[in-house]
Amino acid sequence: MNLIFPGTGGLGTLRNFQACMVIQDRDINMLIDCGTDAKRSLDNVGLNARDVDTVYLTHQHSDHIGGLEWLGFATYFDKIAKRPIVVAEDQLMDQIRASLVGMDCVGGKDTEFTDFFYPLKFNVWEDDPCFVLDDALFEVKIMKHIIGMKRITATYGIMFEDVDVTEILGRRSKIFYTGDACVLEDFSSYENAGLIIHDCETSDFHSGVHAHYAELRELPIELKSKMLLTHYGDNVLGNMEWWNDRAHMDGFKRVGDNYGFIPQGHVLTLKERL
């Protein structure tokens, strides 16, 4: 299994691509989030629309779903390409379908979402929401993303087994990918993971929409030592050496030549996942 990071930037990035991850296993590629620049970020790591078997969507912001129209059209008009599976929470799937109004008709005929994608929905009201793909179990983790006066917008992270690490260690090891989330109040998902891939805001302004570096650095060292950071700002790329030294001192996990911050385009090796 490979974990590929075509993009590691936030919504407003100009120097990076928007955060996403590809789980590559047995020639099957599962894309976690498909932002507006997905076609460029995938191309940058040698992948294209034909390579995407499944897309999992954590929430409705454009840097996570904005590339679906491109993916749908790119595969629809390609006789060789397969129709990708799209996995999303029940209500989120309905919101996504409604937003893709540019895909309502093609070549003189009316079209539906199912003409472009195979939808797979899960219900978060069930106990322990999850879904299964290619015999792999993905546990859905419901987390707070945007907290308003009248409502809270959720994001749906996932946890799944790293079978390669499990085989080496002789005990089950899981990877936890947050998507976009505030720092969890309940640490159990952090504690149950062998590797945490966490979104991380790095701007001077704390938006409250993401976990901020200043908050993550206050987590217990046993959590930070297995945590890697994505969805960071361009200010990190502009001063990576300083941020790398800071993340090293704060106890975040090593990745390549860095600490904490996953480089754009990086393929996370088995050694780095241990």
Is the residue at 272 inside a domain?
A: no
**CATH label of the domain that carries residue 148:** 3.60.15.10
In this model, does residue 137 exceed pLDDT 80? yes
Residues 33, 58 contacting (CB under 8 angstroms): yes
Question: What pLDDT band is residue 126 in, cutting at 50, 70 and 90?
Answer: confident
Residue 209 has a pLDDT of 87
Q: Residue 183: how many CB atoms within 10 A of its CB?
A: 17
For the chain, the domain total comes to: 1
Is the residue at 270 inside a domain?
A: no
Residue 267 has a pLDDT of 97
Instruction: Give me 124's structure tokens.
Output: 């978060």
Is the residue at 125 inside a domain?
A: yes
Q: Stretch 140-166: mean pLDDT, rounded?
A: 90
| Host domain of residue 117 | 2-265
Q: Which of 204, 197, 206 is nearest to 177 (CA)?
A: 197
Is the residue at 257 inside a domain?
A: yes
Is the residue at 156 inside a domain?
A: yes
Residues 200, 19 contacting (CB under 8 angstroms): no
Is the residue at 274 inside a domain?
A: no
